[in-house]
Amino acid sequence: MQKFRVLCTFIYFLGCFVIAESKSNDEIYEKISKIKNDKEKVIIMNKIADSLFNISVENSKELFQKSIDLASSIRFKEGLSDAHYKLGFNYLYNNEYSLANKEFKDCIKSLESISSENGKSCLDALGFINYTLGEYNKAHLYYTQLLNIYLKEEGHNNIKSNIYTKLGNIFLRQNKYYSAQEMYLRSLNYAKISQDKGLIADCYVNMSIITKNLGDYDNSKKYCFQALKINKNLKDTVRIANNLANISKIYIQQGLNDSALIYLFQTLKLLETSEDKVLKANILADISAIFLQSKKYDDALEYALQAKRLNQEVNYLSGYYWDLINLAKIYIETNKNLPLAKQYLDSVHQFAEESDFLSLSSTVHFILAKYFYKVRNIDSSNYYWSNYTSLLDTIFNFNTRSQIADLESKFRLEKKFSDEKIQNLKRERSYSIIIISLIAGALTLLIVAFVIWWERRKSEKLLQNVLPKLIASRLKTKKKVIADSYKSASIVFFDIIEFTNLSKNSTPERIVYILNKIYTEFDHIAEKYGLEKIKTIGDCYMAAAGVPIAREDHAEAAARFALESMEKLNGYISGDDSRILFRCGIDCGPIVAGVIGEKKFIYDLWGDAVNTASRMEEYGVVGKIQCTERFKKIIQKRATSGLLRGDGRFDFVERGEIEIKGKGLMKTYFLTRG
């Protein structure tokens, strides 16, 4: 009811004052002051001030300030944050970045929670502002804050994808290509989860750009064609044109100009009815540059003039000045219109100096050097050539600054440790006399202590080899009974096929050697993914994820362990050329774990999941990883929630229902990589 009353009041004041541009803020405020409720005053002022921004900026700002003052005095945080929020976006839409930046920061300070919708919008806007201004570290900070808020929330996968793209763009601008690639990959993963085809296509474009910068042209083209396929299905002409343009740029960078021209002309044809004049001008400029390189000067001039005309129409200054550079190059090479070429170059030179546009500045110095050489002014040519090489050094330093910063950080860290080591050595030398005398008196005691320590270390190491480290530590505290229950853990069984027949033809030493080689490899992979080796029973290996330390991703860890083990070890060739094959079974669920025995300790697991995992292996197929339906469901649930790490893709092939001893009919699946 209160919101309805506020809305009606706002409509009344808007009709009275906003439409009548001649009304002053004093008259507006005089009417608003008659409202008894101060919070309503703030709400109405914010709405009217926002509406006034396109009519009278000064009146709008003055009214916003009165709203801010009143909201502050009555501690009305919602109204205060709303005033800063709306004023910030008004400044942002008018490209007044520094003023917008201040208002968004003030909005965040007055918010009850930064995770509110206004808080998220402010962080996004602050990231955009600082990215636009080249303040990349600040932009990264704001986007990271925004991402962390969304990562705690379910869904919003398209938003998460977009934020990762923005972080990737920051790294790309800083020439941190591998960091950018990581962000773009995460963006692509979330886009796939969101199933937004257009977003997935955009992510493929980002991957294409970064792989092109890394010189991986094959993958760059692959990503481009993946995006192109999606956009053709969506019948999105603008995106298709951009895809074709990106493919042409890959060919240009490879020096394959004929292939590039095919895609450039396809793009130009698609853009015949498009309003995207900037993209069209860019394509025309690329065509002109290729013709110039091929010394087809008439064609180069025709397309360069068309590009210049389009960039002038939309006032796209960067493209326009590059067009002037292109035209100047054509005039100089053809020895025609040299005065016009000089006029163009002077114009570009002035713009590049004023805007601190390094790449444009270096190019114009290079072309000026060629121009003055053409007109036989060697001194001026040498001057601009010297400036050009100096600017190249500056650009090189800019492009490698990130790598150098990384090296400097590493050097400072190593130097810190080195300095500390030197200081320690100095202190040690100063006390050397005292130490020597103490050593002489305590030598016998140290030898005895060392022997005791060594024996104890051997016994502890032996205990840790038999039991998990955490369990061994608990056992050393003389705890009589060690038994723990776990709500959910994953159990993996591997078994060597027909090992009995294999062992008939081998010596005992050979059998032990083969098993040791195989089980050692299993141990390494288990350690890699954080699984605990439980025991080996002859030719069977048992491991578990989620014990003795519980973990949410136990199923994922077990799946990765099983897949890598099967890939590396299935088909293992022993010394006598025997080919060793495996079956694998996995299940998950509640289990009990504990230590049994007093002299010979054994850490073991009990529960339905343990028995079922063993049955999955026993009734499995050679070279396959058989798992239960509940294991499949927990993996798919984490995949749907976006919780799988890295590439984290798994597939499940339904085997169907099979008769399992002690279980009856069970639906099972084969686990494979996605």
Q: How far apart are CA 347 and CA 339, in angstroms?
A: 12
Mean pLDDT on 632-655 = 85
**Which phi and psi (to 5°) does residue 287 adopt?**
-60, -45
Tens digits of residue pLDDT in 368-387: 877 788 778 887 777 777 76
Predicted confidence (pLDDT) at residue 423 exceeds the cutoff of 60: no
Residue 265 identity: F
CA-based torsion, 253, 256, 259, 260: positive or negative: positive
**DSSP strand E in 191-337: where?**
none
**Mean pLDDT, range 540-553, rounded to an integer:** 92
For residue 174, count other CB atoms closer than 10 A to its CB.
18
pLDDT in tens, 53-68: 777 777 777 787 777 7
662 falls in which pLDDT band (50, 70, 90)? confident
Beta strand pairing call for 582-596 and 625-628: parallel
CA distance 666 to 660: 7
- Give the percent of the chain with pLDDT over 90: 18
Helix-strand-coil split of the chain, %, nearest 5: 70, 10, 20
pLDDT > 70 fraction of the chain, expressed in percent and rounded? 78
Nearby residues of 369 by Cβ (< 8 Å), 6 or more positions away: 381, 382, 384, 385, 388
C-alpha closest to that of 271 among 260, 257, 282, 258: 282
- pLDDT confidence bin for 608, thresholds 50/70/90: very high
- Beta bridge pairs of residue 496: 582
Q: What is the per-residue pLDDT for 414? A: 42
Which residue matches tokens 């201004």?
Answer: 133
- pLDDT (mean) for 186-206: 89
Cβ-contact 560, 531 below 8 angstroms:
no
Q: In which band, very low, low, confident or very high, does the pLDDT at 530 lie, cut at 50, 70 and 90?
A: very high
Contacts (Cβ under 8 Å, ≥6 apart) of 608: 589, 590
Q: Which long-range contacts (CB under 8 A, 24 or more apart) does 113-122 make?
A: 114/145, 114/149, 115/149, 115/152, 118/81, 118/82, 118/85, 119/149, 120/146, 120/149, 120/150, 121/85, 122/85, 122/88
Q: What is the DSSP letter of 96?
A: -
Tell me, what's the pLDDT at 667? 94
Split at pLDDT 50, 70, 90, the class of 453 is: low
Query: Hey, what are 476's tokens?
Result: 């050393």
- Mean of the per-residue pLDDT values of the chain: 79
Q: Which of 96-110, 342-356, 540-554 has the lowest mean pLDDT?
A: 342-356
Give the residue-averaged pLDDT of 223-249. 86
| Beta-carbon contacts of residue 202 (< 8 Å; ≥ 6 apart) | 165, 191, 227, 239
| pLDDT surpasses 90 at 521 | yes
pTM of the model: 0.50
Instruction: Give the start-to-end residue ranges of the domains of the chain.
Output: 1-113, 486-673
Pick the most confident of 193-202, 249-258, 555-564. 555-564
3-state secondary structure of 330: helix
What per-residue confidence (pLDDT) applies to 1? 45
Distance CA 381, CA 367 (A): 9
Whether the per-residue pLDDT at 621 is higher than 90: the answer is yes
Is there a common fold for 1-113 and 486-673?
no
pLDDT score for 632: 94
- Run of H or E residues at 435: helix 432-466
Q: What is the mean pLDDT of residues 436-458?
A: 57
649 compared with 14, residue with greater pLDDT: 649
Per-residue model confidence (pLDDT) at position 466: 58
| Closest CA relative to residue 371, chosen from 382, 360, 358, 386 | 382
| Interval 578-595: pLDDT, tens | 788 999 999 999 999 988
Spatial distance between the Cα atoms of 548 and 484, rounded to a whole number of angstroms: 8
Q: Average pLDDT for residues 389-410, to the nearest whole number?
A: 47
Question: What is the distance between the alpha carbons of residues 557 and 114, in angstroms, rounded to a whole number?
Answer: 34
Q: Which CATH superfamily is domain 486-673 in?
A: Nucleotide cyclase, GGDEF domain (3.30.70.1230)
DSSP code of 357?
-
Domain 1-113 in CATH 1.25.40? The answer is yes
Handedness of CA 224, 225, 231, 236 (dihedral sign): positive
Tell me which range, 264-278, 315-329, 529-543, is most confidently predicted by mean pLDDT: 529-543
Total Cβ atoms within 10 A of residue 577: 6
Instruction: Work out the pLDDT band at 487, boundaries 50, 70, 90.
Output: very high
* 3-class secondary-structure state, position 589: strand
Q: Which amino acid, 632?
A: K
pLDDT at 287 over 80: yes
pLDDT of residue 6: 43
Q: Which of 223-227, 396-400, 521-525 comes out lowest in average pLDDT?
A: 396-400
Q: What is the pLDDT of residue 164?
A: 92
Residue 369, both tokens: 């050097």
Q: How confident is the model at residue 95 (pLDDT cuts 50, 70, 90)?
A: confident
* pLDDT value of residue 12: 43
Q: Are strands 532-537 and 579-580 parallel, antiparallel or unpaired?
A: unpaired
Q: Tell me whether strands 532-537 and 602-606 are parallel, antiparallel or unpaired.
A: unpaired
| Residue of 114, 128, 37, 104 whose CA lies nearest to 76 | 37
- The tokens for 81 are 């944050």
- Number of other residues whose CB lies within 10 A of the CB of residue 470: 13
Beta bridge partner(s), residue 652 = 671
CA 276 – CA 94 distance, rounded (Å): 22
Can you give the pLDDT at residue 558? 95
What's the confidence (pLDDT) of residue 120? 83
What residues are paired with 654 via a beta bridge? 669
